[in-house]
Amino acid sequence: MKKESIISTVFLLLVLAVAIIMGLTVISDAFAKLYESELSPVLFTLITLVIGFVFNVVYLELAHVVGAKAGKCKVVSVNCYYLTLKKTNKGWKFVTEDFDGLTGETKIIKTDKSKLNTYVWMPIVFYAFELAICIVLYSMGQTAEINSPLRWLAISALLWIILSSILFVYDFIPFKLDTSNDGYRLSLLTKPDNAKALLDYMDYQGHLSLGDGENKLEFNENYTDFTVETNLIVVEKAILKRDYEKANEMLLKMKSTENKIDSYLMKRICAQLMFVMLMTKSADEVKKYYDENVGDAERKFISNDSTVEGLRAYALIAGLIDESQFEVQYALSKKEKALKRCQPADVEEEKKLFEEVVQKIKDKQPTEKKE
């Protein structure tokens, strides 16, 4: 399991524990003191939380939009839990799309004056404003007369505070999670190399949303975990263009770095390097390299990787080095699922590349071998 997956799981368990504790203590006491409605407390809570969740989803992305505009960025897409307002050649329109975030995603493209600081910080300002209003409403309910709407409004405000605070804390955890969050972006902005790479990456994502093909993501030789991640995108683009020489050069540069790069990323580099070598060199030459330089951890990673990059490498290793037709078929059986996670613009080229992989294996193994 990746480090960010572990952090995400731990956080979700903590949130569940906090929610249970708050429900049994603070919220329970508030209902006992203030709640007078004939509506079921459970139903009242559910309605309040649903409305609060929808509001906070939209509110967070509105904060990103305001922050992007303040940072001289152009907003090209605003996603609120799959419902997306997207800029197209024919103007803005609503569509449904996936998103990389907890509740939504706002995509931007950069200008000459763009900075991401306000994009990241603005949700804090918005949350503080929301929190202040809820505290005022809750305080007013404490002194309100019996049967006053302010009393149940105070309970709503309390539920709202807990919900918005959970979402806020998740958004500003300063670690990389399974989804993008502002806390991780904020940690990247503290280092100039990462800050530039983050702006370039978000610009790249914005151009993908526009579908204009003007992606200008470049190889970054200031190696950090994040710049290596973006570099692997550049490597993949080179591979899709069959520029294996350039891809090999970039991979070797990252592999030989003395910086401490996350082991997961180094394994991804190894997988890509094995793919490029097997596509450009003799199987015997690559086998020698594989035996001497690829350890058990890297081999296990490649065999378990479910991305298109990993599957291509595994299929070639199985077919050209291990000569196991069964393992080749196993890798190819996961191809369609992996292709669904690719950028739509790359899918057709990825399919063609898989066909080339299969043909290369067939050239080495003209007769099917049975295990």
**Cβ–Cβ under 8 Å, residues 206 and 109:** yes
Asked if 97 and 222 sit in the same domain, the reply is: no
How far is residue 337's CA from residue 290's CA, in Å, rounded to a whole number? 27
152-166 b/e with 16+ CB inside 10 Å = b?
bbbbbbbbbbbbbbb
pTM to 2 decimals?
A: 0.83
pLDDT digits (tens, 9 = 90+) for 257-311: 766 788 899 999 999 999 999 999 998 999 999 999 999 999 999 999 999 999 9
pLDDT digits (tens, 9 = 90+) for 159-197: 888 889 888 988 888 877 778 899 999 999 999 889 999
Asked if 229 and 346 sit in the same domain, the reply is: yes
Residue 108 DSSP SS3: strand
| In-domain check, residue 325 | yes
How far is residue 103's CA from residue 107's CA, in Å, rounded to a whole number? 14
pLDDT digits (tens, 9 = 90+) for 234-255: 999 999 999 999 999 999 999 8
Six-digit token pair at 309? 């990059």
Asked if 359 and 301 sit in the same domain, the reply is: yes
287-300 b/e with 16+ CB inside 10 Å = b?
beebeeebeeebbe
Asked if 224 and 177 sit in the same domain, the reply is: no
pLDDT digits (tens, 9 = 90+) for 5-61: 555 566 666 666 766 666 656 666 666 665 666 667 778 888 888 898 999 999 999
Question: Which DSSP symbol is given to 144?
Answer: P
Asked if 180 and 227 sit in the same domain, the reply is: no
pLDDT at position 342: 87
Among candidate residues 164, 185, 206, the one where a domain is terminated: 185
Residue 87 has pLDDT above 70, yes or no: yes
Asked if 138 and 31 sit in the same domain, the reply is: yes
| In-domain check, residue 112 | yes
Among the ranges given (228-232, 261-265, 356-360, 367-371), the one the predictor scored with the smallest mean pLDDT = 367-371
How far is residue 195's CA from residue 45's CA, in Å, rounded to a whole number? 41
pLDDT band at 369 (very low <50, low <70, confident <90, very high): very low
Domain that holds residue 230: 218-364
C-alpha distances in Å from residue 225, one per residue of 172, 270, 274, 293, 341: 19, 15, 21, 22, 22
318 Cβ neighbours under 8 A, 6+ residues apart: 324, 327, 328, 330, 331
Asked if 133 and 273 sit in the same domain, the reply is: no
| In-domain check, residue 194 | no
Asked if 147 and 255 sit in the same domain, the reply is: no
Domain count for the chain, please give it.
2
Asked if 34 and 177 sit in the same domain, the reply is: yes
- Mean pLDDT confidence for 201-216: 82
How far is residue 244's CA from residue 321's CA, in Å, rounded to a whole number? 20
276 vs 139 pLDDT, higher one: 276
pLDDT at position 1: 47
Asked if 36 and 116 sit in the same domain, the reply is: yes
